Amino acid sequence: MAKSAKAKTKVVGTTIDAMIKEGKALGRIWKQTNSLTASTKASGFDTRLGKLLQQLKASSSLDSGQISRQTLTTHGVHVIDRRRRSEALWFVENEVECRDFIAKSKKGFTSLTALQKAMRDAAKADEPSNVGQNDTVVSDSGWKEPKAKKSGATVQRNVNVMVSRTKMVDTILHHCQQHNLNVEDIIADLQSHLATQKKSV
């Protein structure tokens, strides 16, 4: 009886030790993958991912320059969240500016998402104001929109722009390219959204 209890204690102890060892190993992997300092080193996760995606993008056969879903699957990176892929590619494509921005930062950044936001905010703050220069604004998609007119406490926007299907497609492609989004993923999301809408009607 005593012998059985001793054996049971040994098994439980071994199991706990193994779980502690596994937990610590996972903690180290998590820290390496989710620490901006570690992930943006030359051998870091985001740098390596971004460089691979940059090569895949350069060799893309699609007119938009996007990486096809099939290519992502073939190279095994389709399992990585597309936002993480997009941020890693953005980091590598803007590596010099990113590293310079990080070096000048006093508090540092916890993620590429935070870095990207901080750099966008800084760029907006540096942009000159165009208030009163003309009555139209050129949007990211390339078409001109009337500037917002303030009327008391409300802001009114007079937009009488006819949007064709071709213009809409061009706009989507433009935004996908600008924000490093996969066009095929956007199409899949649109189809999924439409299917959900049809069910709810």
| pLDDT per position as a tens digit, 66-86 | 899 999 999 999 999 999 999
77 within a domain of the structure (yes/no): yes
Average pLDDT over residues 178-198: 77
24 within a domain of the structure (yes/no): no
| Tally of CB atoms within 10 A around 75 | 13
Closest by alpha carbon to 56, among 41, 74, 39, 42? 74
3-state secondary structure 86-130: HHHHHHHHCHHHHHHHHHHCCCCCCCHHHHHHHHHHHHHHHCCCC
| pLDDT per position as a tens digit, 135-183 | 445 454 454 444 544 444 444 444 445 667 777 777 787 777 777 787 7
Is pLDDT at 14 greater than 90 in this prediction? no
Q: Which of 33-42, 130-139, 169-178, 189-198 has the highest mean pLDDT?
A: 33-42
Query: What element of type H or E holds 149?
Result: strand 149-151
Indicate the range of 9-23, 43-57, 110-124, 152-166 predicted with least confidence: 152-166
157 within a domain of the structure (yes/no): no
- pLDDT score of 47: 92
Look at the chain and report how many structural domains it folds into: 1
Per the CB < 8 A criterion, the answer to whether 140 and 175 are in contact is: yes
89 within a domain of the structure (yes/no): yes
- pLDDT score of 129: 57
27 within a domain of the structure (yes/no): no
The pLDDT-based confidence of 128 (bands split at 50, 70, 90) is low
Q: List beta partners, residue 151.
A: 154
Is pLDDT at 4 greater than 60 in this prediction? no
Containing structural domain, residue 180: 35-125+138-147+162-200
Average pLDDT over residues 1-24: 66
Is pLDDT at 52 greater than 80 in this prediction? yes
152 within a domain of the structure (yes/no): no
26 within a domain of the structure (yes/no): no
